[in-house]
Structure 1
Amino acid sequence: MSNRTDLTDMQWNALQPHLPGNPRRGRAYADHRRVINGMLWRIRLGTPWRDIPAQYGAWRTCHDRLVRWERDGTWLRILQTLQAMADQQGQIDWHGAAVDSTHIRAHRSATGARIQNAKTDAPPPIPGEWLGQSRGGRTTKIHLCVDGQARPLSIVLSAGQASDGTYLLPVLDSIRVPRIGAGRPRKHVPVLRVDRAYGAPKYRRLLRKRGIACVCPEREDAKKWRLKRGVRGGRPPKFDVEAYKGRNVVERAVNRIKDFRAVATRYEKRGRNFLAVVLLVAILIWLSKRQH
């Protein structure tokens, strides 16, 4: 019996061609669809992994495959492949791109991760596991850039106390939409809508150097500084009020991501495990909004 959290037939048909095949050696994979549905059941409801219903198989299989595919880059590859297919069909609204961040409150079970052993094949440890201390307690921050249809183009995690502006360039640098066929991956957005947290003059200059039109209202402190200098303060930055109204796409994307309770509250101790959860949710958003 299917669950409302399961992949639909349309989503599965779009996802299946991009999943890894069985390894040449060792045991074959358990059914991909059943295991991924088990992941989605847990991520949607935010329950412990051990509570995954038996219809999805062993809970450890669901957890291990989620983690393993983040380590070897499978989730990121699938996300970029879906983006590339949409870009080839002209379905990515590059001119409606927006950047923002959101705080994720960490559950008490997310703290206390042990120091990883130094293994040659183990990924490098993440200092602090992207867990920080802010006004809301222990938090992780998700920085993301979305297109004009509220679909994630790039995702970067940080500790909760990190400022938004310092992660503006890392978020933009993480955009990498491959070309199907010849050509370099697309990494450039021509227009970017951001709020006042990114409106400092230094961030505007960084975007200007990259040829990106910044749509952002002027900060009050920057305005006072400019007026105080008089003529030397220069002209106020251009601001397109109508274009700025489109910034709500990033807020809609954040709401969509937080519909999954295991994202709205972080339960994972390891930062890379939480990143795997966020990437799978991003893939589901692209599958759900894909046009056929």
Structure 2
Amino acid sequence: MWGRIEPLMPADPVRGRRWADHRRTLEAIAWKYRTNSPWRDLPGELGPFQTAHKRLVRWAVDGTWERILASVLSEADAADDIDWTVSVDSTVVRAHQHAAGALKKGRRDTGSRGDHAIGRSRGGLSTKVHLAADGLARPLAFTVTAGQAGDAPAFETVMARIRVPRTGPGRPRTRPNAVLADRAYSSRALRAHLRRQGIRAVIPQPSDQFGHRQRRGRHGGRPPGFDRESYKQRNTVERCINRLKQWRGLATRTDKLAIAYQAAVHLPGQHI
């Protein structure tokens, strides 16, 4: 795994001190999120916790985490190991009290949003991870929002982030063959978006939409097509979410900054 990742790590600065060993720092970040331990409890052999935390955010800002995930997906695609029947869903993550208290205006140097993707609902403070997974339960793209946010508004953002580079010539692949999603994603705008992209939509229609169309009679139009057999594969995104939440630091959010938590969500994708 390190053999794949090492060439993608940032080079040492031209001036000043050399950076701490990238491999040790990466192991420190992984240890923290696997165990969900406080940063200050980081074992001494993994280096200072300040270095690991700063490097987590720095690599999020410069795109290192995205490049690592894209490289892993590119190798899988070259081996014809990606199933392009994509499933989309979201999961709510409880935010620990340590995650509260970040500056509401955000930090311009890290690009964090004002709410830091933390919202308040009946269950308390929470964050929602919106995820697209391939037919082998592999994460392709994701984004984070406040916990009370709806699923459908984040759909286009997630789809726009699917970008798997080719190992040879050619543009990165960005369009799946089909998209599977539950009733929360059933809307005319969303279906029209997929139709423009040439992507088959496998989304059931809620009963209220079905009744509304019937009440309109012939003006209600034809019901959208729905492949029940293909829809049975939607469990792949649920399995992907389950793998993600095996990392305790992702199942419960303790990061104040949205950019730090979203960077950490890349970690399970490196272990495909």
Pairwise TM-score range, normalised by the shorter structure? over 0.9
CA contact (8 A) 1:200 1:219 kept: no
CA contact (8 A) 2:95 2:252 kept: yes
* 1:187-240 deviation digits (Å, cap 9, x = unpaired): 111200000000123322221122111112221011101111222223322211
User: Of 153, 169, 175, which residue of structure 2 is paired with 1:182?
Assistant: 169
Letter in 2 for 1:22: D
User: Of 81, 87, 91, which residue of structure 2 is paired with 1:102?
Assistant: 91
**Distance in 2 between residues matched to 1:198 and 1:106, nearest whole Å:** 25
User: Of 20, 44, 47, which residue of structure 2 is paired with 1:30?
Assistant: 20
Q: Which sits farther off after the overlay, 108-117 or 255-264? A: 108-117
Q: TM-score, normalised by structure 2?
A: 0.94
Provide the secondary structure at the position in 2 that maps to 1:103.
strand
Letter in 1 for 2:267: L
Residues 1:52 and 2:39 aligned together: no
**Distance in 2 between residues matched to 1:63 and 1:125, nearest whole Å:** 16
User: Of 281, 287, 292, which residue of structure 1 is paired with 2:268?
Assistant: 281
**Distance in 1 between residues matched to 2:45 and 2:70, nearest whole Å:** 30
Q: Which residue of 1 aligns with 2:153?
A: 166
Structure 1 residues 124 and 65, CA gap change in structure 2 (3 angstroms)? closer
Letter in 1 for 2:8: H
* 1:57-79 deviation digits (Å, cap 9, x = unpaired): 21111111111111111111111
**Distance in 2 between residues matched to 1:116 and 1:236, nearest whole Å:** 45
Instruction: Count residues with an aligned counterpart.
Output: 272
Residues 1:69 and 2:59 aligned together: yes
Residues 1:196 and 2:183 aligned together: yes
Residues 1:114 and 2:103 aligned together: yes
**Distance in 1 between residues matched to 2:32 and 2:113, nearest whole Å:** 24
Q: TM-score, normalised by structure 1?
A: 0.88
Cα RMSD over matched residues?
Answer: 1.7
Q: Which sits farther off after the overlay, 205-214 or 13-22? A: 13-22
Q: Which residue of 2 aligns with 1:224?
A: 211
Provide the secondary structure at the position in 2 that maps to 1:238.
coil
CA contact (8 A) 2:213 2:220 kept: yes
Structure 1 residues 118 and 190, CA gap change in structure 2 (3 angstroms)? closer
Any unmatched runs of 5+ in structure 1?
A: 1-10
Q: Which residue of 1 aligns with 2:32?
A: 42
1:125: how far off?
4.0
Q: Which residue of 2 aligns with 1:19?
A: 9
Structure 1 residues 224 and 103, CA gap change in structure 2 (3 angstroms)? same
Structure 1 segments (4+ residues) deviating >3 Å:
115-119
Letter in 2 for 1:102: T
Structure 1 residues 117 and 245, CA gap change in structure 2 (3 angstroms)? closer
